[in-house]
């Protein structure tokens, strides 16, 4: 297998050059199609190498046509605008494992969801570090070092992004932690932050005030946990390397994450 042009649909919303690589798997993860968005200068500057941003829930990142809810993060449009400001990056979309999503992104099982499994975070990070990243670095002109490698995700994807940053600082340098579902693995993230050295790169942390409109107590958990994590990261000495955003009207939806993504990518990529 190798990269091929993205198989766009009539209703696709992709901007720029998007590639796909089918059948990427390991012993613990079923085959999935990775997506790679290339920056505008990629073809015309063949000697240039680029930072990489890895997105969880990759089927929701570039194309509304691949999300059952018909929305996307608009990462391709946002990175195109960021490129116009002088900073370009490759973006990799890693689709989640469908019904295995909670298990893959969770740091421990949750008794409230026994049917979901849980605790697959370390296996998922092994998939990223031993299969996905070597494939990307071997087939694309990446800057493979820690300083130029970023993870970003929302909800459970936010949880696994912070977990990866803390447990694999030899691989991942910065993280976007959007609407993190810390409640799903109670206490795990806090305990890990307390016993870990502070990240040396940047952390974007955000949350909305309407993360769960049908369950006010869940919205409060998102809000309170994110603020508590902000305070803890500041106690650990993150200082200006942490950027926190709390939007009282923000919902748990791709529209909200797309709206905050420009600020997140500009901060994480160091756009001045």
136, 92 contact by CB (below 8 A): yes
Assign 3-class secondary structure to the chain: CCCEECCCCCCCCCCCEEEEEEEEEECCEEEEEEEEEECCCCCCCCCCCECEEEEECHHHCCCHHHCCCCCCCCHHHHHHHHHCCCCCCEEEEECCCHHHHHHHHCCCECCCCHHHCECCHHHHHHHHHHHHHHHHHHHCCECCCHHHEEEEEECHHHHHHHHHHHHCCCCCCEEEEECCCHHHCCCHHHHHHHHCCCCCCCEEEEEEEECCCCCHHHHHHHHHHHHHHHHHHHHCCCHHHEEEEEEEEEECCHHHHHHHHHHHHHHHHCCC
Cβ proximity of 108 and 119 under 8 Å: yes
* Under-50 pLDDT residues of the chain: none
Gap between the Cα atoms of 217 and 150, Å rounded: 32
pLDDT at 213: 85
* Token reading at 208: 């909305």
Q: Which two tokens stand for residue 235?
A: 């106690």
Q: Each residue of 170-202: pLDDT tens digit?
A: 999 999 999 999 999 999 999 999 999 999 999
Answer for the pair 79, 262: CB distance below 8 angstroms, yes or no.
Answer: no
The predicted pLDDT at position 246 comes to: 98
Looking at the DSSP bridge assignments, the partners of residue 52 are: 90, 149
pLDDT of residue 113: 76
Interatomic CA distance for residues 162 and 136, integer angstroms: 21
pTM over 0.85: yes
Model pLDDT, residue 130: 98
Cα separation, 76 vs 70, whole angstroms: 16
CA–CA gap between residue 17 and residue 226 (Å, rounded): 35
pLDDT of 111 reads 79
- Domain spanning 4-269: CATH superfamily: Alpha/Beta hydrolase fold, catalytic domain (3.40.50.1820)
């Amino acid at each position: 297998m190798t990269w091929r042009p993205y198989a766009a649909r009539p209703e696709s919303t992709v901007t720029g050059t998007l590639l796909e690589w089918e059948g990427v798997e390991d012993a613990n993860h079923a085959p999935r199609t990775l997506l790679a968005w290339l920056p505008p200068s990629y073809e015309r500057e063949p000697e240039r190498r680029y930072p990489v941003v890895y997105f969880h829930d990759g089927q929701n990142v570039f194309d509304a046509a691949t999300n059952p809810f018909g929305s996307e993060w608009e990462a391709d449009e946002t990175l195109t605008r960021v490129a116009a400001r002088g900073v370009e990056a490759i973006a990799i979309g890693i689709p989640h494992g469908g019904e295995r999503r909670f298990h893959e992104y969770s740091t421990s099982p949750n008794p409230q969801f026994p049917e979901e499994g849980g605790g697959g975070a370390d296996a998922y990070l092994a998939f990223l570090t031993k299969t996905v990243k070597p494939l990307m670095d071997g087939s694309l002109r990446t800057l493979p070092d820690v300083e130029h490698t970023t993870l970003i995700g929302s909800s459970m994807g936010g949880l696994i992004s912070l977990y990866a940053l803390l447990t694999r600082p030899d691989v991942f340098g910065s993280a976007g932690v959007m609407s993190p579902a810390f409640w799903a693995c109670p206490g795990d993230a806090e305990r890990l932050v307390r016993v870990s050295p502070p990240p040396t790169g940047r952390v974007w942390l955000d949350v909305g005030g309407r993360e769960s409109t049908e369950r006010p107590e869940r919205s409060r958990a998102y809000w309170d946990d994110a603020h508590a994590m902000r305070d803890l990261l500041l106690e650990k000495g993150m200082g200006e390397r942490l950027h926190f955003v709390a939007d009282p009207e923000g919902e748990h939806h791709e529209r909200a994450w797309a709206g905050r993504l420009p600020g997140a990518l500009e901060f994480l990529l160091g756009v001045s």
